[in-house]
Amino acid sequence: MVSINSHEAEDQIDLFLQAIEEIFTGMNPKTFWPLNGGQIDAYFDVIEALDMYDLLTNLKKTESLQTISSILPPPDALRLFLEHNAIIGLKVAKKLNIRAITTKEIIDYVNLLFEILSHKVKNDPFCLDGKNLILTNEELEEKLAAPDWDIPSSEQKKEIANLIVQTNNLCYSLYYDIFMAGGFYIHGPYPTTTEFGKDTILLIREYHNLQPKDIWSDIQFPHKKIRVEGVYKHLDIKINFANHPLSTTSIGDKLIAYRLFIDDKKTTLDKLPELFSKIQETTTTQTKKINSLSNLDKVRKGVEIAFYLFKEFRESQEKDWKPPITVEQTIKQFGEKFIEQFKYNEIPKLEHWKKLFDPRNDYY
Tens place of pLDDT per residue across the chain (364 aa): 344 567 788 999 999 999 999 999 988 888 999 999 999 999 999 999 999 999 999 999 999 999 999 999 999 999 999 999 999 999 999 999 999 999 999 999 999 999 999 999 999 999 999 999 999 999 999 999 999 999 999 999 999 999 999 999 999 999 999 999 999 999 999 999 999 999 999 999 999 999 999 999 999 999 999 999 999 999 999 999 999 999 999 999 999 999 999 999 999 999 999 999 999 999 999 999 999 999 999 999 999 999 999 999 999 999 999 999 999 999 999 999 999 999 988 889 999 999 999 999 999 9
What does the domain layout of the chain look like in residue ranges? 6-120+308-356, 137-290
For residue 337, with 0-12 CB atoms within 10 Å meaning exposed, 13-18 middle and 19 or more buried, which class applies? exposed
Q: Which of 1, 7, 161, 23 is nearest to 83 (CA)?
A: 23
Q: What is the pLDDT of residue 7?
A: 75
Q: What is the pLDDT of residue 1?
A: 36
Q: Which of 18, 38, 279, 5 is nearest to 167 (CA)?
A: 279
pTM, whole model, 2 decimals?
A: 0.96
Q: In what order do the strands lie in the sheet with 255-262?
A: 184-191, 200-207, 226-233, 255-262, 265-267
Contact 258, 233 (CB under 8 A): no
The angle formed by the CA atoms of residues 133, 138 and 143, to the nearest 5 degrees, is 80
